[in-house]
Amino acid sequence: MPDKFERFSIENRVVVTGLGVVTSLGIGIRQLWDNIIAGKSGIGVVQTFDVSNFPCKIAGEVLNFKASDYMDAKMIKRSDQFVHYAVAGAKLALEDAGIKIGEVDAERCGIIIGSGIGGMETINEQSYIFREKGARYVSPFMVPSLICNMAPGITAIEIGVRGPNFSTVSACTSGTHSIGEAYHMLKLGKADIMLAGGAEAAVNSLSFAGFCAMRAMSTSYNDCPWEASRPFDATRDGFVMANGSGIIVLETLEHALHRGARIYCELAGYSASCDAYHITSPDPEVKGLAKCFTDLLRETGLSAADVDYINAHGTSTEYNDKCETKAMRDAFGDYAKDLLISSTKSMTGHLLGAAGGLEAAICAKAIETGKAPPTINYKNPDPDCDLNYVPNTAVNADINVAISDNLGFGGQNGALLFKKFSKD
């Protein structure tokens, strides 16, 4: 093992060794990936609360999830659903990586799990109790249930690790930022293993009321919810909210090789920027997101022609999709038309702060399997969205370099670059 000075070398390489996902389209990476490649949708009419008075009536709910499969009953009662998804995703990722915490140094294993909203259901429930019954009936666990850092905090308690532990909160970029910051921890030698990604459980009446008031969610496809999320399609009319988590295991290459780990791919770059433009709308000039792409190429020493696949933010909203397309054109120039681009939100819905974690896991599988996921529901080309979005059917491709990017309210941008692993 390296000594304490060598551990702080910026030359540390970082690899992906485990994937854990909780989604409406599948729990566990195998089930999710099979459904993604088959082009299936996890979107349906909301089952967990009454949507009769809402203009949007659909979402990606994880209806077959049992927190008791992953957590102690007492802790379940004391924490919000987004925490349950985080713990489950982390345990599934560790299992996929073949890591048993008792066999690794718990003080060299950390967790960074982002959430854009945190315990919204707790806020919703406890606010009602406060209004109807009074202050004395509010739960003493309200505050620790709703704060975002309980996702990594309780996950650490559940699995027993004591390395770096915090949450990134940057709206829909939270998951990507968490993975990027975990990448930095490993590059700087602060840990040997990091679990990173995002968790969100925002599908509830209060969140729906807020997003419907913004006119941000799809309302035209309530009778056929599987067609509602249609990124880059000319008839898109808003995003579809979803619950779940996406957690990946990152390790220093040295640590992974030492324990004989299966390696999905290498995480080779991370970039972040801010539009400094508007609280909810992307900058029409998209300089911030384009900067993320060009910074990734500069950091990794790759050219635009080296990138094979992008898992786009692709929310199915009017402005995001055309702005994101422009950013790709600006950053990749003539090579943009050769990129394979897909928005898997067309199938999973939008997991908000967990989107980046889920889509990073999908990038890892795309590299491992040589398959580019489709963008389903792409039927009516938009002249402002004129790139190859892998329409409707997955394609086989030699994917050596993949990028996952996300945008968030507040002008947040983040992107990760993964490449096929080679010891050289």
User: Could you list the active site residues?
Assistant: 172, 313, 350
Other beta carbons within 10 angstroms of residue 3's beta carbon come to 6
Strands 412-419 and 265-274, bridge-based pairing: antiparallel
Nearest 10 degrees: Cα torsion 155, 158, 160, 161? 0
State the amino acid at position 357 in one-letter form: G
